[in-house]
Amino acid sequence: MLPGRPPRALIVARVQAIEISLDWRWPPVLALGTWLLAQNVLPARFPSWELGTTWLTAAAAVLAGEVALLLHELSHALIARSHGQHVTRIVFHGFQAQTVIEETPSAPLCEVLTALAGPTINLLLAGLAGVIRFAFLVQGPLDAFLLMLTVGNAAAAVLSLLPFGSADGARALAALRRHCRLEGEIACERQDDDDQNQQAQRRPAVVAPSAGAAKAAAQQGE
């Protein structure tokens, strides 16, 4: 998730008025990822598989990864929009994507929720794939597919939550710090107000005897 200017990309769909775009790097990155899985990773682990099964499993895993990436970015977009921010588009670069949000002031806690929505979706998908794998005791290519989905989504969640650069974790942490700073300032202002109120309440207690004394003096004078 990143704010900023919309990059040049090909619009392929719209989801709730949010443009879904593909950067020029998307097709070669996906082709390379599928090729690496089908030619190196899967044959090394499952040498007895037929070529068609290997390529189909590789392509399915890469496409499922893109669907998970879309759900990750859509969760950022929809949470940001529900808090009044204007989301223009989601751009896919390959195994990375960018949600373009117009820079508008928002409450820090809304930014925390927006940033954490993406990794939460990845954790849910990893958990779902893991539960299906164990509940149905699947085997063969489907088991490998679900395992890649579990590991891939868990890794995506961990990488997103890193507190570095423009990662979701760094954005959530920065917004949380801002929230704590604002809370501290509000608490200080409240304390100042309370102090002023207490001082204001003490003043009449000092003035009253004087007024009484002045009245008594006036009566004596009469």
User: What is the contact surface with Zn ion in residues (CB under 5 A)?
Assistant: 1, 118, 160, 168
DSSP 3-state assignment of 14? strand
Least separation, in Å, of the C-beta of 144 and Zn ion?
A: 26
Place of tokens 């929809």: 78
- Strand-pairing partners, residue 21, are 11, 91
108 vs 141, beta carbon nearer Zn ion: 108
Least separation, in Å, of the C-beta of 39 and Zn ion?
A: 30
9 vs 68, beta carbon nearer Zn ion: 68
Place of tokens 């044959």: 43
CA–CA separation, 141 and 64 (whole Å): 14
58 vs 87, beta carbon nearer Zn ion: 87
Least separation, in Å, of the C-beta of 121 and Zn ion?
A: 9
54 vs 122, beta carbon nearer Zn ion: 122
Name the residue with the smallest CB distance to Zn ion: 118
CB atoms within 10 A of CB 104: 11
37 vs 115, beta carbon nearer Zn ion: 115
CA–CA separation, 62 and 83 (whole Å): 32
Least separation, in Å, of the C-beta of 106 and Zn ion?
A: 16
Q: Kindly tell me the sign of the dihedral angle through the C-alpha atoms of 83, 86, 88, 91.
A: negative
Q: Kindly tell me the sign of the dihedral angle through the C-alpha atoms of 88, 94, 121, 179.
A: negative
Contact 130, 43 (CB under 8 A): no
1 vs 113, beta carbon nearer Zn ion: 1
Least separation, in Å, of the C-beta of 78 and Zn ion?
A: 13
Least separation, in Å, of the C-beta of 179 and Zn ion?
A: 19
Cα-flanking dihedrals φ and ψ of residue 188, to 5°?
A: -65, -45
